[in-house]
Every structure is written in C-alpha cells, then in structure tokens.
Amino acid sequence: MEENLLSRTVLSSLKSLARRYPLLSVEAAALDAELEQLVAQANPALQQTKGIGTVTAAQLLITAGENADRLTPEASFAALCGTNPIPASSGKTTRHRLNRGGDRHANSALHQIAVARITCDQRTRDYIAKKRNEGKNTKEILRCLKRAIAREVFTPITSPPPAADYRELRPKRQELGLLQVHAAVGLGVSTAKISLAERGQVHDAVFLTNYDSWLNSRDLTP
C-alpha cells in the first residue's frame, strides 16, 4: 500500500513538472529575447566581441554600472571583476594566484567567455600553449586568460566603438552576384557561418568587419 502511494506521488510530481516545462521554456525564451534587445541597445559592440553572449555581456555591463567612465585605469576594472593577479611568491619562486575577491558574477562571466574561446578560438589556444611553455599550470593559465579578456572588454565597455552592421552583408553579396559558398571559400569558413553572420547571429565584430572588407574588395576587382 505504501509503495503504491509513493509511486503515485512520484508520478503525479513528474506529470506536474512535464506540464510546467513548456510554459517555463516559452517564458525563458521571451526573457532571453528581451535581454538581447536591451544589451544590443546599451552596447552592441560588446555583444559582437568574440565569445561574449547576451548573458555575459549583460553581466559585465551591470558590473561596470551606468558610469563606466569612472573605471580608470583599466586595472581597476580587472580588480572589480576579481581578475587582477595576487602576489603569492615564496623564497626564490615568483608566482601569482587567483583573486577570490571582486564581483564574483562578473568573474563567472569572464570564466564563461574564456571557456567559449578555448573551445572555438585558435588565438586563445595559442595563448594557452604559450603559457604552458612558460611553465604555468592550468589555474595560472586561466587566471592569465581571464585577465587578458578583462583587458580586451574594457574598451568596448568604457568607450564603445561603432558596432559592425550585418544588415548590409547579404544585399552587398547578392549585388555582386556571389553565393554564400563563394564567401565561405574566400574567408575560409563554413557556409553556415556566412548564413548566420548575414542574419545577425554571429557575435564577432572582427569577423563581420573582415566579411564586409572582403565584399568591398570584390567590388573593386575588375
């Protein structure tokens, strides 16, 4: 009797969760879309920085606050995010350790950006290989990487450059009579990335700028 009651209770709970899941998914998607619009309005250049998504961009903007120009010098932003190196030398050994202070939410955002870049950015992989050759361990390399990312995002946060406009890419390519595969071969990427870039789903201002420059160079070709 007790076993049957327990089974019915568990089954009822699972059915309740199953009914809530679609509603929560729709609500989460709506909130994500609204957050993306807010971030794009506040700082589109930051959102187009490689490896930075909507959530991580929003967190960095929240950490910087409304008066980001007060974050001078650049090292103050690193300290605010808890990525500035803390001396941990001993005897003849000179080393630094992770900073456990600062805004941990911003630190987590930088960690997510670092993980994303490790997965898909060759420049980051080369940086890691260089640090390993210098004798640094994984924690020290991660600290250095997060510090480098904090340095990189400081400028788009405090002095946002104009965002790359993806909306002209497709019309410009079509005007030149080029297919997506031509652009993919010319830039050394997949056709899927070209398609995503033309739809505004590639958050990489460097790539978008390179794509636009490539199209402009085709326009000048006799």
Per-residue pLDDT tens for 65-102?
A: 866 777 778 888 888 898 887 776 666 666 666 677 78
Could you give the number of structural domains in the chain?
2
Confidence band, pLDDT 50/70/90 cuts, at residue 149: very high
Return the pLDDT at 94: 66
* Contact between residue 50 and residue 154 where contact means Cβ atoms under 8 Å apart: no
Give the rounded percent of residues in the chain with a pLDDT score beyond 70.
Answer: 90
Q: Among 62-66, 92-96, 165-169, name the one with the lowest average pLDDT.
A: 92-96
Supply the pLDDT for residue 9: 86
Mean pLDDT of 14-41: 88
Residue 19 within a domain: no
Q: Is 172 left (phi over 0), alpha (psi -120 to 50) or beta?
A: alpha
**Owning domain of residue 196:** 166-220
pLDDT recorded at residue 207: 87
State mean pLDDT over 181-198.
92
| Same-domain check for residues 131 and 200 | no
Q: What average pLDDT does this structure show over 110-127?
A: 91
Instruction: Flag whether pLDDT at 3 surpasses 70.
Output: no
* Token pair recorded at residue 100: 């456990």
Q: Determine the average pLDDT of the residues in 157-174.
A: 85
In a domain, 181, yes or no: yes
Q: How confident is the model at residue 8 (pLDDT cuts 50, 70, 90)?
A: confident
Three-class SS of the chain = CHHHHHHHHHHHHHHHHHHHHHHHHHHHHHHHHHHHHHHHHHCHHHHCCCCCCHHHHHHHHHHHCCCHHHCCCHHHHHHHCCCCCEECCECCECCEECCCCCCHHHHHHHHHHHHHHHHHCHHHHHHHHHHHHCCCCHHHHHHHHHHHHHHHHHHHHHCCCCCCCHHHHHHHHHHCCCCHHHHHHHHCCCHHHHHHHHCCCCCCHHHHHHHHHHHHHHHHCC
pTM: 0.72
* Res. 172 pLDDT band, cuts 50 70 90: very high
Whether the ω angle into residue 73 lies within 30 degrees of 0, i.e. cis, is yes
Is residue 182 pLDDT above 90, yes or no? yes
Asked which of 158, 185, 207 is the last residue of a domain, the reply is 158
pLDDT on residue 1: 56
Judgement on whether residues 140 and 170 belong to the same structural domain of the protein: no
How many CB atoms are located within 10 Å of the residue 203 CB?
20
Statement to judge: residues 93 and 151 lie in one domain: yes
Q: Which range among 1-5, 105-109, 208-212 shows the weakest confidence by mean pLDDT? A: 1-5
Residue with tokens 């590639």: 202
Which of the four pLDDT bands, split at 50, 70 and 90, describes residue 179?
very high
Give the number of other CB atoms < 10 A from CB of residue 206.
Answer: 12
CA distance 93 to 129: 22
Rounded CA separation 211/196 (Å) = 12
Q: Does residue 59 fall inside a structural domain?
A: yes
Q: How many percent of the chain have pLDDT more than 90?
A: 35
Q: Based on the domain organization, do 152 and 170 belong to the same domain?
A: no
